[in-house]
Amino acid sequence: MDWKYRWKNGYKPSRDEAAKNPHLLDESQFDNEQDRKLAEESTRKHLGIPAPTLDEDKPILPH
């Protein structure tokens, strides 16, 4: 089965690359930001990668 979106770098990323990169798909194929976000979420599910959380960039331990 072919994937219906174009990959950002022209190829399907490995799971490690996809987990580190916030954007997996080519942004030029979407009309608005909401469509892109939905497609990114669906892509992460397709690849078996957890979706990023809102507090992902905050440190776990207090300073």
Q: How confident is the model at residue 1 (pLDDT cuts 50, 70, 90)?
A: very low
Q: Taking the mean position of all CA atoms in its chain, how far away is CA 22? A: 5
Q: What is the pLDDT of residue 2?
A: 57
Instruction: For the chain, give every domain's residue range.
Output: 1-49
Enclosing H/E stretch for 44: helix 33-47
Q: Can you read off the two tokens belonging to residue 8? A: 């950002």
Question: Whole-prediction pTM value?
Answer: 0.72
Q: Report the alpha-carbon distance of residue 27 to residue 51 in Å, rounded.
A: 18
User: Burial, 58: exposed, middle or buried (Cβ in 10 Å; 0-12, 13-18, 19+)?
Assistant: exposed
Q: 30 vs 50, which has greater pLDDT?
A: 30
Q: What is the pLDDT of residue 31?
A: 92
3-state secondary structure of 25: strand
pLDDT tens figures, 31-60: 999 999 899 989 988 888 887 777 777 787
